[in-house]
Amino acid sequence: MRDDRMNDPGWFARHPVKVAYDLIGCILVTNRDGGEVAGRIVEVEAYAGPADPASHASRRELSREVMGGPTGHIYTYLSYGIHHMMNIVAHEDGQVGGVLMRAIEPVEGIDLMEVRRGGVPFQNLGKGPGSLGQALAIRLTDIRADLMTSHELAIYPGQPEADIYAGPRVGISRAVHAPWRFFEHPSRFVSSHKKGERVMRDEVPLLIPPPGVPIE
């Protein structure tokens, strides 16, 4: 693995919206099944604690426990009984939250990704959270894995290569208006949901409601 691996859990000890924005451009790496694969993060979604109706932490005890645990760890779950979804725990001290990995641009181990994904077009290898999980061979047993120290999963710093847009989270039925999905625009590796507006880094705090204000 590379020498510049992110190893400071404090980087993730911020509001998940702030962490989500800064994750665009970072590199996710998995090393398992006999090979290393890597993808540049191009789409994510932030989820807060019990006050966020769209968050698992609002209704699942295990989710609340893991998403309130050490930052920089992994929270995984199964979607529709088949998709392994990967989240990185991110929250301020004493809070709960995480960031769902929604799409990557493949950069290494592309042949292995293609085998795992069954020969789909290159731009679809890691497009969408289920596809991302399959391309990176994410497992349910990765829950609570530490990205800072794991021998099989790691994250590295990187930079966005285009503007970052913010838009509503997708595939949810609650708090559907919160602009907590961030994606690189334009990018052919981002999922088909392109609704959003350009957001600069200094504008990100404005996307977080003040304490006591509902997340809608």
- Complete domains list, the chain, with CATH: 9-160 (3.10.300.10)
In tens, the pLDDT along 83-110 reads: 999 999 999 999 999 999 999 999 999 9
Q: How confident is the model at residue 80 (pLDDT cuts 50, 70, 90)?
A: confident
pLDDT at 144: 98
Residue 2 has pLDDT above 80, yes or no: no
Q: How confident is the model at residue 183 (pLDDT cuts 50, 70, 90)?
A: very high
SS3 of the chain: CCCCCCCCHHHHCCCHHHHHHHHCCCEEEEEECCEEEEEEEEEEEEECCCCCCCCHHHCCHHHHHHHCCCCCEEEEEEECCCEEEEEEECCCCCCCCEEEEEEEEEEECHHHHHHHHCCCCHHHCCECHHHHHHHCCCCHHHCCCECCCCCCEEEECCCCCCEEEEECCCCCCCCCCCCCEEEEECCCCCCCCCCCEECCHHHHHHHCCCCCCCCC
| Mean pLDDT, the chain, integer | 96
In tens, the pLDDT along 23-46 reads: 999 999 999 998 999 999 999 999
pLDDT at 192: 84
